[in-house]
Structure 1
Amino acid sequence: MFVLALITVVLLSVIAIGSLLTISNDPHWFIRGWDFPHVQLVAITVVLAVIYLVAAKMWFSTNALHPGWHWTVGSLVTVILGWLAYGIMPYTPIMPVQTMPAADWNDDRKLRLVVSNVEMENTEYELWMKTIAEADPDIAIILEVDERWMSAIEPLRKKYDHEIACPQDNWYGMLLLSRFPILDHEIRFRVCDDVPSIDAVVQLPSGDSVRMLAVHPRPPEPIRDNDSKARDAELTLYGRDLEGFDQPAIIGGDLNDVAWSSTTRLFLRLSKMLDPRRGRGFFNSFNANHWWMRFPLDHVFHSQHFTLRRIERLGYVGSDHFPMLLELQCEPARKHEQEPLEERDTDKQEASELITRGLAES
């Protein structure tokens, strides 16, 4: 039992150190990787705490375990759960919502949006099109499309009057379909010359113009030894672009980042955008193939001009990502009811450092 208690303490120490490493701005994939499994780490910590209590009780039957062990385990569990809860609690239903529900529904001011990373190697074209057709979005942001995907989903593309296409064979292709007129658009390569984003303006039936941003920054990952510099810089650049932008705006895509990470929170503070999941749930969109290791990577953030009519994670489409469906309503008169995250004194300096660091590597 002593060995079991020792192993428990060691594992809790590893979780505590790994979780607290994310406080730093270090972009290494190993450190940034600890941002993702907060929910899983909470569950593991609780299980380890229970194992320790059982082991300690059994040890007491033959020997007195030194009180310092209990203090150490208690401290580690408190630190881990406190830090992880700070990140994930805002996304639980016990917390207040950030995006208010729409009051009087007005279809002329409605924008129904689907964000879907199709996974370039995926060949479940019919299943994907059936799922998207049933969701019936006004605008669809489709990620990881190559020429093969463009051809395969042509029947769906024909149902939309407008599109912006940038197919690529490097997992960063992008397609935006819209029923609404596209007044202006630009395909931008903000940080990496092979990672596009779409910056467009669409017009709702009400006449309101909405800036639509589609993004898919490069992730930190061990396989290609990628750090988070490019991702952090792209998100921060768009956060700074949207700072002071006083018109309706929506940004959506696979951000390759979780909602509670320091980079995403910095983006939200700079841009004053709102997260409709706050107070409603995690809506974990990745990994669709592993129920035990899922995170919210596919995001839709919006300006204070919008309220929420519906949010839903759609079904399996053969991809490692579930599509996300959001139905927003443009209600500028209710801006004052919705509070963005409060900006910190150090945000602008941190943003400049992240942008400079990312651009230097590109």
Structure 2
Amino acid sequence: MRMHLSILRHGGLQRRAKALAALCLAGLLLPLVSAFETSWPDTLAWGLDLAVHWQWFFLVGLILALPVLAFGHRRWVMVAALVPLPWLTAMPATVRGTVGGDGLVVAAANVHVDNESPDRLVRWVGATQPDVLAILEISDTFVQRLGLDDAYPHQLVRPRWDPFGIALLSRHPIVRHAVVDGGGATPRIEAVIDWNGTAVTVVAVHPMPPISAADQVRRDQVLADITARYADHPTIVTGDFNATPWSSAFRVPRRHGFTLTGGLQATWPASLRGLIGLPIDHVMVSRHWTATDHAVGPDVGSDHLPVLATLSPTGAETQ
């Protein structure tokens, strides 16, 4: 056994482990430098944002390298103190409220534009009974087969042939709404619902994935504009953000007091049930809410997993 363990001190293995640890440590520290991105060229900021999403992979790499390095030099054990970094550097989580009374249940599901069968989504919605449901990548065929008119009498549905169809379904009256589509941004729905006498702003979003520096800037600007305008009102922003909780996309929302209701479980791709992947589908709320529950839903025939949150008012004053 001693002979077998001695191989961990082999110079080549130690060098590889050090290189892996250095790469992963740099990746885990990337969210801490995002505050300086505003002064950087767009292309550099874009590259950083693409790298920052992979915190879970950096963490796994560090965990694999540390035992090898610690066997050679015990001082490497101290690096284990950095393992909690992905939790510490992510967008803050919403304060957890106590279960009691009737909460507002909000769900979002990217159903994939090529998915023509809503059956699995309908079963999940029937089991969870969300008050408000945002559907992303909704097509004409999906709308025609959805069959949720009785459960959701208040609907804003804008199907498209491309991945940016969008819908907002509500059990509560929609008193005002706008479908915002302009300036190169993808469509989003901004609505005010009457929830038991309280006016609640709900925004369904699906910005372009950051496949270019310009797309990253537009994504960040959309979320910045929404949260700046609605920070003083009970607001819920939900959908496929194409951004993880470590992304620059959340810099301005964080400044305006917005938080994420969920943990850091991956929602894309759906193939491994969120065990490996990126958390990019979110429910984000203003300071007027606590979250009593958050869950990642089952496979609904898409490459994304849906998300569900139960919210309660904090009693914070509105302006």
Change (3 A) 1:190 1:18: farther
Is 1:236 aligned to residue 224 of structure 2?
Answer: yes
Report deviation, 1:161.
0.9
> Given residue 219 of structure 1, which amino acid in structure 2 is its aligned partner?
P
RMSD of Structure 2 on Structure 1 (CA): 2.8
Q: What 5-or-longer segments of structure 2 have no aligned partner?
A: 1-9
Change (3 A) 1:228 1:120: same
Report deviation, 1:99.
3.6
Report deviation, 1:187.
0.4
Instruction: Name the structure 2 match of 1:189.
Output: 181
Q: What 5-or-longer segments of structure 1 have no aligned partner?
A: 57-66, 92-96, 337-362
Identical counterparts, % of pairs: 25
Cα pair 1:118 1:321 within 8 Å, conserved: yes
Cα pair 2:202 2:237 within 8 Å, conserved: yes
Cα pair 2:70 2:77 within 8 Å, conserved: no
Partner secondary structure for residue 203 of structure 1: strand
> Given residue 67 of structure 2, which amino acid in structure 1 is its aligned partner?
V
Say which of 9, 25, 32 aligns to 2:49: 32
Structure 2 Cα separation of the partners of residues 44 and 234 of structure 1? 33
Report deviation, 1:14.
2.4
Structure 2 Cα separation of the partners of residues 192 and 84 of structure 1? 32
Change (3 A) 1:121 1:80: farther
Report deviation, 1:82.
6.6
> Given residue 170 of structure 1, which amino acid in structure 2 is its aligned partner?
D
Instruction: Name the structure 1 match of 2:193.
Output: 202
Say which of 271, 284, 302 aligns to 2:285: 302
* Per-residue CA distance 1:46-89 (angstroms, 9 max, x = gap): 111112334x3xxxxxxxxxx8xx77x678x4696475453159
Cα pair 1:118 1:145 within 8 Å, conserved: yes
Is 1:52 aligned to residue 69 of structure 2?
Answer: yes
Change (3 A) 1:88 1:308: closer
Cα pair 1:87 1:261 within 8 Å, conserved: no
Report deviation, 1:218.
1.2
* Per-residue CA distance 1:173-229 (angstroms, 9 max, x = gap): 100011111101000125425x1111111101x2111111111111223xx787511
Report deviation, 1:238.
1.3
Correspondence list, 1:248-259, <5 A: 248-259=234-245
* Per-residue CA distance 1:113-156 (angstroms, 9 max, x = gap): 11111111224421222112222112110001121221221x12
Change (3 A) 1:275 1:124: same
Instruction: Name the structure 2 match of 1:269.
Output: 255
Structure 1 Cα separation of the partners of residues 182 and 28 of structure 2? 30
Say which of 266, 277, 288 aligns to 1:284: 266
Report deviation, 1:320.
1.6
* Bigger Cα displacement from structure 2, 18-27 vs 321-330: 18-27
Partner secondary structure for residue 183 of structure 1: strand
TM-score, length basis structure 2: 0.82
Change (3 A) 1:306 1:41: same
* Per-residue CA distance 1:247-276 (angstroms, 9 max, x = gap): 322111111112233431431222x22333
Cα pair 1:119 1:144 within 8 Å, conserved: yes
Report deviation, 1:294.
2.5
Is 1:166 aligned to residue 158 of structure 2?
Answer: yes
Task: State the number of aligned residues.
Answer: 299
Change (3 A) 1:323 1:82: closer
> Given residue 199 of structure 1, which amino acid in structure 2 is its aligned partner?
E
> Given residue 139 of structure 1, which amino acid in structure 2 is its aligned partner?
V
Report deviation, 1:98.
1.7
* Bigger Cα displacement from structure 2, 288-297 vs 177-186: 288-297
Cα pair 2:266 2:275 within 8 Å, conserved: no
Say which of 111, 124, 131 aligns to 1:118: 111
> Given residue 143 of structure 2, which amino acid in structure 1 is its aligned partner?
M
Change (3 A) 1:185 1:227: closer
Cα pair 1:145 1:175 within 8 Å, conserved: yes
Say which of 142, 146, 157 aligns to 2:139: 146
Structure 2 Cα separation of the partners of residues 82 and 133 of structure 1? 37
Cα pair 1:133 1:156 within 8 Å, conserved: no
Partner secondary structure for residue 156 of structure 1: coil
Cα pair 2:107 2:307 within 8 Å, conserved: yes
Instruction: Name the structure 1 match of 2:7.
Output: none
Structure 1 Cα separation of the partners of residues 30 and 289 of structure 2? 35
Partner secondary structure for residue 63 of structure 2: helix
Partner secondary structure for residue 155 of structure 2: strand
Change (3 A) 1:198 1:89: closer
Structure 1 Cα separation of the partners of residues 131 and 312 of structure 2? 12
Change (3 A) 1:283 1:191: farther
Structure 2 Cα separation of the partners of residues 191 and 9 of structure 1? 46
Report deviation, 1:242.
2.1
Cα pair 1:15 1:80 within 8 Å, conserved: no
